[in-house]
């Protein structure tokens, strides 16, 4: 990886260049004096540019984060693990290639940024059966030794050792892990008076101060500060992505460490960075405290996490999909495919239904639906509001338990010529006439690269199951539904499309 920070460079070879801070401002004609910031002050911090009306209140505000850090830092730990290099199941061996020469496509989002890499400290190839070590961060959440870190820090670890801020080391055991949220709970036995911190009960606001503490590059006990840059970030990690974005610098080794608000409560668990260079560029991602609290409670109780399962494949409702369905707003999650035998299928939920709320709470999009259902216990009863074939509908069902893996595949055979439908830029043939395509729908045998369907990602071999909410079996059915949609004043038509990976809905505008 290019531009990699090497924590093993001797101190005598490191060159530290002081950064210049420039304070730019405009002095009004009223003759306001510009005062130099005191050594303890923070540029644009709580004591900068104070209005006269706020002077009395701000006079008691500490100029830095020293009091906060002294309060929380003892609860933060460095986590060091050993992993057998021959453990093929280890996520670390699969993903932590920090010594490689070229970036992999996923390296911009460096989730596993705690490990030294496949080589030794000098980059030489490992010998067989050699144990490799990795370093991350964590924090105590109880006086009796329970601590939180990332799943990717302790995944398949042969041993776990934690080091406190005063240098004291302890052996820890893994209580439970949750790969879906990348959280893990570990435990140090033998003491009942560990310093600990609590999760915040409040969602941080964008712009709030945040302080991160951790073990970057194995240095230990490092404190950085910044602000909350954004919330609700989806970085493509999974269906439960809901990251807090912060600009407090975090680097390799900060994985699993806490991010604090100004009261000393944990607002998030440092988990990922966006890093073209391998080091901090000011874009880090935290698992929210609200998620961590729910997961940690289950890990402590049962050693694993169980989640509610609805049994549907869903996608967001775009403006075009909303228009084609007659919805007023582009909100909710449209059902691509209810899985056979799932709670949704048993309750009568069908492909094309839009789930608009769960237990009376509006659903923003498909990710919001996935997160909401995942927080509910298997077996719990939920009420879903649907938009079903142009009408509102409510169903009540009992959730199942989320299986480990859910896959939906469809086999699509070779092409055969068919009649064209110029409105969409497609040539179609009945699925029954195409070997391996099944008996339902029509197969796309040719796509006009300049047509509206191609621009929406429809490809040769895709199977169109229904058009405008109606099942289609031949080209005549497609033309009829297109004409109906257009005569109803719609600017686009909703297609249910199946390919080898999944079934999805695509809103295609009329040419």
Residue at token pair 């939906």? 408
Q: Are strands 308-309 and 258-260 parallel, antiparallel or unpaired?
A: unpaired
Listed residue (449, 477, 448, 450) closest to 464, CA to CA? 477
Q: 31 Cβ partners below 8 Å, 6+ apart? A: none
Judged by phi (left if over 0) then psi (alpha if -120 to 50, else beta), residue 303 lies in left
State how far the Cα of 262 lies from the Cα of 245, in Å rounded to an integer.
17
Check 200, 255, 275, 342 and give the catalytic one: 255
Is 90 a catalytic site residue?
no
Check 137, 152, 200, 388 and give the catalytic one: 152
Q: 193 Cβ partners below 8 Å, 6+ apart? A: 143
State how far the Cα of 267 lies from the Cα of 231, in Å rounded to an integer.
12
DSSP H or E run through 477: helix 475-487
Identify whether the C-beta of residue 468 lies closer than 8 Å to the C-beta of residue 413.
no
State how far the Cα of 180 lies from the Cα of 237, in Å rounded to an integer.
9
State how far the Cα of 499 lies from the Cα of 410, in Å rounded to an integer.
6
Burial (CB < 10 A; 0-12, 13-18, 19+), residue 507, is buried
Is 152 a catalytic site residue?
yes
Check 182, 247, 261, 365 and give the catalytic one: 182
Listed residue (178, 222, 231, 224) closest to 202, CA to CA? 231
Is 84 a catalytic site residue?
no
> Which residues are marked as active site?
152, 182, 255
């Amino acid at each position: 990886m290019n531009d990699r920070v090497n924590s093993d460079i001797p101190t005598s070879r490191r060159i530290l260049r002081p950064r210049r801070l420039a304070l730019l401002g405009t002095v009004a004609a009223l003759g306001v004096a510009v005062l130099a910031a005191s050594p303890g002050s923070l540029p644009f911090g709580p004591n900068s540019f104070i209005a006269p009306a706020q002077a009395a209140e701000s006079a008691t505000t500490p100029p830095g984060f020293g009091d906060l850090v002294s309060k929380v830092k003892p609860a933060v730990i460095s986590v060091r693990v050993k992993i057998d290099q021959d453990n093929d199941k280890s996520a670390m061996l699969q993903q932590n290639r920090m010594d490689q020469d070229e970036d992999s496509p996923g390296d911009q989002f460096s989730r596993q940024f705690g490990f030294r890499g496949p080589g030794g400290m000098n980059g030489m190839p490992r010998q067989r059966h050699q144990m490799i070590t990795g370093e991350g961060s964590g924090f105590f959440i109880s006086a009796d030794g329970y601590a939180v870190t990332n799943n990717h820090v302790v995944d398949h670890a042969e041993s776990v050792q934690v080091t406190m801020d005063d240098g004291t080391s302890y052996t820890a055991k893994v209580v439970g892990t949750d790969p879906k949220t990348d959280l893990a709970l570990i435990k140090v036995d033998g003491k009942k008076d560990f310093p600990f911190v609590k999760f915040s009960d409040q969602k941080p606001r964008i712009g709030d101060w945040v302080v991160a503490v951790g073990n970057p590059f194995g240095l230990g006990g490092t404190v950085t500060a910044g602000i909350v840059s954004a919330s609700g970030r989806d970085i493509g990690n999974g269906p439960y992505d809901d990251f807090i974005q912060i600009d407090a610098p975090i680097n390799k080794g900060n994985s699993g460490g806490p991010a604090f608000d100004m009261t000393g409560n944990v607002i998030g668990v440092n988990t990922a960075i966006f890093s073209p260079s391998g080091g901090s560029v000011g874009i880090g991602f935290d698992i929210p405290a609200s998620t961590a609290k729910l997961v940690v409670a289950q890990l402590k109780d049962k050693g694993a996490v169980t989640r509610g399962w609805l049994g549907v494949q869903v996608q967001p409702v775009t403006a075009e999909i909303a228009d084609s369905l007659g919805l007023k707003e582009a909100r909710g999650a449209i059902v691509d495919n209810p899985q056979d035998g799932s709670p949704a299928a048993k309750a009568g939920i069908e492909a094309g239904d839009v789930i608009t709320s769960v237990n009376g709470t509006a659903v923003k999009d498909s990710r919001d639906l996935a997160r909401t259902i995942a927080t509910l216990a298997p077996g719990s009863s939920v009420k879903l509001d649907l938009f079903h074939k142009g009408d509102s509908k409510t169903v009540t069902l009992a959730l199942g338990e989320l299986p480990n893996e859910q896959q939906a595949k469809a086999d699509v055979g070779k092409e055969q010529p068919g009649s064209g439908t110029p409105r969409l830029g497609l040539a179609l043939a009945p699925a029954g006439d195409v070997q391996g395509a099944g008996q339902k729908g029509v197969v796309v045998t040719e796509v006009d690269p300049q047509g509206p369907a191609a621009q929406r990602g429809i490809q040769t071999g895709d199977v169109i199951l229904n058009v405008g909410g109606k099942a289609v079996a031949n080209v005549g059915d497609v033309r009829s539904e297109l004409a109906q949609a257009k005569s109803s004043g719609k600017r686009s038509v909703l297609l249910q499309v199946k390919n080898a990976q999944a079934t999805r809905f695509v809103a295609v505008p009329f040419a």
